[in-house]
Amino acid sequence: MNSTQMADSLKILMDARMVGAKTHGIARYVVDLVQDLTAIGHEVTILANSIETPKRIGSNLNTIYCKTPFAHPAESLELTYKCRGKKFDVFHFPSFALPLILPARSVVTIHDLIHLHPPAKLAHQMYYKTIVKHGLTGCSKIITVSDWTKIELEKFLKVNKEKIQVIRNGIRKISVPKTSVPSKPFVLCLASLKPHKNVQALLAACRKLWNEGQDFELVLSLGGEELPSKWTELKPKIRLIKNISDEEINGYLAHCAAIVSTSLFEGFNYPVAEALSLGRFAVLSEGSAHSEFDSPNAIYFGKPNDINNLALTLRKVFRGEYQRGSDSNISTLRQMTLSTAALYNQVF
């Protein structure tokens, strides 16, 4: 079998235990990558701990079931056991969840190192500085989804930069459905109440604009959570969305005046990339992977907690003071998949 043939028929074991009925973040990366690797002819076997996983990715996948859930204290031991003696060309661990002993020809994807930034829990820091660092030392190749994450790996875990390749997350072609969106201009934020998402900065900026008479709506997702009680006064001007389909979210992405992210840290930001791919503005805090969105529609308002400048930037968006560009410079899913497959062949 020559190298070209090997590239067409790799047998890959992918840890997909983080994929359930709903997919966000790392889970979405896994779903997209497994589906597209399969589409271009590779044979992918997944690790799962629920029948929801193969249902979500594709019911025809070979599946090895694990007992421990994703991010469980005992997962490193079971992953080691499940991989032992298995005959695969490449083993891909697409997150921080790693075996104690990695098989030969292992690839690890690291999305961010947010758990090493304050106010990270000591247990999380210790896990990264022991299990994760050990795994990254032993694996064949490391994928990071941004240059920022690569720099973080070198800084915090002293990882050999020669092993790291930056492959940015790719975006599927988005179909925009007919959906009910606000009749007035609106900004969109798809985040959570995790401290690093820094949603309170956006809420404060919106309150400032509303108090000044600006007429708009905030469409906000908090990952299924409710608006904190301290912001109850703003509820009449906020459309809180939860438990909606990806298609409905696409409708909001396609019609927003801008998507907004005030995050302190981001390894990558799928909603922002999707909005940019649809030609929408993205109002972003400076720093981390945000600064790598090389698009004319990416607007940086300053430091994450610069509420005054964020409010000013949003006001300019509503007034039409920014010129919309046509080139999103966002990678497609197929570009990401082909780059990942090329990396596999370096390992194999």
Per residue in 105-147, pLDDT tens? 999 999 999 999 988 889 999 999 999 999 999 999 999 999 9
At residue 297, the pLDDT reads 96
- Give the integer Cα–Cα distance in Å for 314 and 116: 31
- Give the integer Cα–Cα distance in Å for 209 and 213: 6
Which of 8-12, 148-152, 214-218 comes out lowest in average pLDDT?
Answer: 8-12
CATH 3.40.50.2000 domain extents, the chain: 3-170+332-347, 186-318
- Give the integer Cα–Cα distance in Å for 347 and 15: 17
Contact 36, 43 (CB under 8 A): no
155-213 tens-digit pLDDT: 999 999 999 999 999 999 998 877 778 889 999 999 999 999 999 999 999 999 999 99
| pTM of full prediction above 0.95 | no
Q: Residue 165: name the closest of 181, 145, 139 by CA.
A: 145
Strand partners of residue 285: 302
Q: Which CATH superfamily is domain 3-170+332-347 in?
A: Glycogen Phosphorylase B; (3.40.50.2000)
- Give the integer Cα–Cα distance in Å for 82 and 211: 58
- Give the integer Cα–Cα distance in Å for 85 and 106: 14
The yes or no reply on domain 186-318 and CATH 1.10.3720.10 is: no
At residue 119, the pLDDT reads 84
pLDDT band at 23 (very low <50, low <70, confident <90, very high): low
DSSP H/E element including 202: helix 199-211
pLDDT of 65 higher than 50: yes
